[in-house]
Amino acid sequence: MDTMTAWQVDRPGPVATHPLRRVTLPVPRPSAGEVLVRVHTCAVCRTDLHLAEGDLPPRRRGTVPGHEIVGTVEALGADVTDPPVGTRVGVAWLRRTDGTCRYCRRGAENLCPDSKYTGWDADGGYAEYCVAPAAYVYRLPAAYSDEEVAPLLCAGIIGFRALRRAGLPPGGRLGVYGFGGSAHLAAQVALAEGATVHVVTRSAAARELALSLGAASASDTAPPEPLDSAILFAPVGTLVPPALAALDRGGTLAIAGIHLTDIPPLNYAEHLFQERKLASVTANTRADGREFLDIAARHRLRVTTTGYALADADRALADLAEDRFAGAAVLHCTP
């Protein structure tokens, strides 16, 4: 095994122009501090779509996308002893940080200006193999299949960080605006921790899913009671004022997305006074990832997925662009 099948972002552009190209590449070799991972599955994230379509500018030519990677450690680079060969691991978006800046030193490595990202700064998991820094891969809860656990690595971890940024008090009332892959996982964590969850989404199917998971209400307009915390998952800035207005005194609204359309003007009395807070969410720390995967090991989360062959990665991306499947698309890369 010297070569492998992979997909590269060839020419970023609308998904209809086929920005991904299927190629044969040499199997990468792990450098010092890295592991070689045989990729079993890789979930397809909306960020992959942003990269393929050029909304996020490429950081290098011909990068292999994919940052929700599940695989087995096949070989170790110099200086690596852990995780050992044969371990099932996850490779996620945060690839490495400098470990020395003021943010890293205070435990906020998600804010590191020198951070690198899987599938953007380095080749990711739309491939049969990838390499990753050993210190940044995750051990995975055994109860989940390779297909189920893949979306936990971005949708799950980011949703979890958003939940923590929203500062939900024990037994509190949480509003969830938008109910896609990330939201439905964060909502399940909140429910497992005893929260009352109110979901606001235009999608009737998503409202049905929310209620089946245990949400107290699901509406296409507004929650039925004041909220201690809310998370905005929909990338829609016009939802910020009504979500702030729905907060109780002292409540927090966290915005989970990497993109948001413009926020209309706020009215201080209506939207912020009474110590309401507005927070953004930027990537995650490894501690977030480990804490979330520990919770997922203790509380079996329901993960909705649709499987695709690696050969159909471009179709999976096109289907994501058109919302043609339920849950997360997951590529099956090697047996």
**Contact between 9 and Zn ion (CB under 5 A)?**
no
Total residues contacting Zn ion by CB under 5 A comes to: 8
CB-nearer residue toward Zn ion: 104 or 230: 104
Residue 24 · residue 2 · CB < 8 Å: no
**Contact between 98 and Zn ion (CB under 5 A)?**
yes
What 3-state class would DSSP assign to 331?
Answer: strand
Which of 76, 127, 130, 154 forms a contact with Zn ion (CB under 5 A)? 154
Min separation Cβ 280 and Zn ion, Å: 16
CB-nearer residue toward Zn ion: 101 or 266: 101
CB-nearer residue toward Zn ion: 196 or 284: 284
**Contact between 285 and Zn ion (CB under 5 A)?**
no
315 CB neighbour count, 10 Å cutoff: 15
Q: In a 10 Å sphere around its CB, with 0-12 CB exposed, 13-18 middle and 19+ buried, how is residue 152 labelled?
A: buried
DSSP per-residue letters across 53-99: HTSSPPSSTT------EEEEEEEE-TT--SSPTT-EEEE-SEEE--S
**Contact between 45 and Zn ion (CB under 5 A)?**
yes
Min separation Cβ 113 and Zn ion, Å: 7
Min separation Cβ 65 and Zn ion, Å: 10
Q: Which span sits near Zn ion by CB under 5 A: 106-114, 126-134, 270-278, 320-328?
A: 106-114
- d(C-alpha 170, C-alpha 154), whole Å: 25
Min separation Cβ 104 and Zn ion, Å: 3
**Contact between 162 and Zn ion (CB under 5 A)?**
no
Number of DSSP helices (H) and strands (E) in the chain, helices first: 9, 17
Among candidates 91, 62, 57, which has minimal Cα distance to 74? 91
Pairing of strands 88-91, 94-96: unpaired
CB-nearer residue toward Zn ion: 154 or 244: 154
Q: Which span sits near Zn ion by CB under 5 A: 18-26, 27-35, 149-157, 166-174?
A: 149-157
Q: Which span sits near Zn ion by CB under 5 A: 151-159, 174-182, 191-199, 291-299?
A: 151-159
Q: Which span sits near Zn ion by CB under 5 A: 101-109, 138-146, 171-179, 287-295?
A: 101-109
What 3-state class would DSSP assign to 294?
Answer: helix
**Contact between 112 and Zn ion (CB under 5 A)?**
yes
Q: Across the strands, what pairs with 332?
A: 41, 309
Q: Tell me the two tokens of residue 49.
A: 């779509």
Q: Which span sits near Zn ion by CB under 5 A: 41-49, 76-84, 180-188, 321-329?
A: 41-49
CB-nearer residue toward Zn ion: 63 or 252: 63
**Contact between 104 and Zn ion (CB under 5 A)?**
yes
Omega cis (within 30) before 335: no
**C-alpha distances in angstroms, 200 versus 58, 167, 197, 324?**
34, 19, 10, 21
Which of 8, 41, 47, 72 forms a contact with Zn ion (CB under 5 A)? 47
Min separation Cβ 158 and Zn ion, Å: 7
**Contact between 63 and Zn ion (CB under 5 A)?**
no
Contacting residues for 293 by C-beta, under 8 A, at least 6 apart? 90, 138, 139, 140, 141, 152, 157
Min separation Cβ 328 and Zn ion, Å: 10
Which of 75, 101, 236, 297 forms a contact with Zn ion (CB under 5 A)? 101
Residues that bind Zn ion (CB under 5 A): 45, 47, 97-98, 101, 104, 112, 154
